[in-house]
Amino acid sequence: MTTPNPEPEEITPTEPAGENPEALDSTPVEAAGVAAAAVTQPASEEEDARKRRLLLVLLLLLLLLCCCAGYFIFRYVTKPQPIADMLPVDVYYPPTYKFSFPLDKPVGVAVSLDNQRIYGVESGGERLVKMFDRNGNLITSFAPPFTTSANRKPIYIAVDSKGRVFVSDTYNNVIAVFDKDGNFLDGIIGRDTTLSDALVQHLGSKIPAGTLFYYDNINKQVVYQLPSEDVSRFPVEQIDWSPLGLRFDQQGNLMVTNIVVGKHSVLVFPAADLQGSWVDFNPQVTEFGEEGKENGQFSFPNSVVTDRAGNYYVSDSNNGRISVWTPEQIYTTFFGMGSTDQSLNLPRGMWMNAKDQLHVVDNVGQYVRVYDVSGKEPTYLANFGDYGTEEGEFNFPNDICMDGTGRLYIADRENNRIQVWSY
């Protein structure tokens, strides 16, 4: 960048000639030119310097911007999370609707830890668990063995750190467990009983590879079929076991809502007890809550999540509130109940993001409410969605989950679809 010389005729001498002796020996024109040059040179240098400084600042800003962008890109690539969670300002940014993909009356939804597999649970049609890719393309579908749409009722679903898929089958009171591809692995049929556990005890030996087994709650029997043999049964009674909602906390503990008549509660299965073989299944299950309408009581609890501090949040559905418990499973308070514009009708599925922003699906309210539970008191942030059948509108939504990239998946039951929103 250069500074053009000013045209002589445009120069108007402003300084006395006596202040420049050389100019006295020159022609008027030359003198004017010399005078102009003498006056312009320092100003031009100063201007150049100023512009250089400005340029330097701009370059530094650009470099800083690139560094910031690089930092975010690096963080996003190494540990994907919602952009809102990475922004340094404490402002809530509601998500926006992206697209949806079809299921038959979906009531449960979950996503794998690698964000690549989305699992939706159908309550209509064939009542399958269906697996999709991030674009909503169907990969496969699956269901427990020995069941048809007439005798299974999958509702809620959760995926653990190993990619295992846990599905609550309320028709048979089973938490059915599949591998990430939908192959049936085992089932939890009691607080300390699994299908494999019961079957090994019945057979008195290991379960041969290729054996199919499941539970028939109507006849209170385990149904199994050894390879190349006929289907057989043996009785197993379930005790105080009626699992509904499923979620894993950050430590991998399985949290289950249990809706046994008169004994509605939350059960927590330690992560360590869910590893390894389930043949000698004896988890140190902890339980909190009881059935009722008072403080510390539940009426059809549907979902449990935890915040960063380990506090439990239970969607106490038929009481229309969120119940809060300490990590020691001591009741503290509730919120969301009442008639304000921040309260809930029929809270069902929930999800807690990394900022302790609690997302609650209101089945009857037809929206998702978001609360900030990071402070001493839960505060309402916003809600998104509304009743309808158009894009971004809900018709009896029932469950929600979020992946590591800030995508929200919402089971929109009566609209027969999973909606995808994103932060």
Partner 1 sequence: MKKLLLAVVLGLLLVAAFTTLALADNGPHGGFTATTDACASCHRAHSAQYGSNALLIMAPDALCLSCHDGSGAGTNVQDGVYSQAGSDAHAGGVGLGPVEGTDGASLMGGGFDFALMATAWSGAVTANPAFNATSKATTSHHNYDGTIGTVWGSGAINTASASYALECVSCHDPHGTAGYTNVTASTTICNPALLPGDPCTEKVASYRLLRWQPSGSSGFTAPAVANWTGGAFPTNGTTTGWTVPDNFATTGTEWYTIGTTGAFAAGDYNAGNANNVYNLKNAAATETNTYIPAAVNVAFFCAQCHDRYFNNSRLRNATDVSMYCGSPVNGTTPPYVGSPLFLPFNAPVGGVHPTDPARCEPVYTGAVITGWGDNGPSGDTTYMYRHSSGDIRISADGSAAAGAGTSVSRSCVACHTSHGSTAAMTAFASDATLAAVAGADVNNSTLLRMDNRSVCLRCHASTVNFTVGP
Instruction: List residues binding partner 1 (CB under 8 A).
Output: 89, 91-94, 107, 123, 149-151, 153, 155, 170-171, 173, 217-220, 238, 240-242, 244, 259-263, 293, 299-300, 302, 317-321, 337-346, 348, 363-367, 382-383, 386-387, 395-396, 398, 413-414
Q: Which is nearer to partner 1, 124 or 252 (CB)?
A: 124
- How far is it, in rounded angstroms, from Cα 367 to Cα 388? 10
What minimum distance in Å lies between the beta carbon of 276 and partner 1? 27
- How far is it, in rounded angstroms, from Cα 179 to Cα 156? 16
Q: Which is nearer to partner 1, 35 or 410 (CB)?
A: 410
What minimum distance in Å lies between the beta carbon of 327 and partner 1? 27
SS3 state of residue 359? strand
Cβ contacts of 22 within 8 Å, gap of 6 or more:
34
Q: Which is nearer to partner 1, 276 or 375 (CB)?
A: 375
- How far is it, in rounded angstroms, from Cα 382 to Cα 359? 10
Q: Which is nearer to partner 1, 24 or 91 (CB)?
A: 91
What minimum distance in Å lies between the beta carbon of 26 and partner 1? 57
Q: Which is nearer to partner 1, 97 or 300 (CB)?
A: 300
Q: E strands along 265-343, which residues? A: 265-269, 286-288, 290-291, 297-298, 301-306, 312-316, 321-325, 331-335
What minimum distance in Å lies between the beta carbon of 170 and partner 1? 5
Q: Which is nearer to partner 1, 107 or 420 (CB)?
A: 107
- How far is it, in rounded angstroms, from Cα 254 to Cα 248? 5
Comparing C-alpha atoms, which of 112, 191, 175 is closest to residue 403?
A: 112
Edge to edge, the sheet with strand 184-190 lists 154-159, 165-169, 174-178, 184-190, 193-194
- How far is it, in rounded angstroms, from Cα 206 to Cα 155? 31
What minimum distance in Å lies between the beta carbon of 317 and partner 1? 6
What minimum distance in Å lies between the beta carbon of 262 and partner 1? 6
Name the burial class of residue 345, with classes exposed (0-12), middle (13-18) and buried (19+) by CB atoms within 10 angstroms of its CB: middle
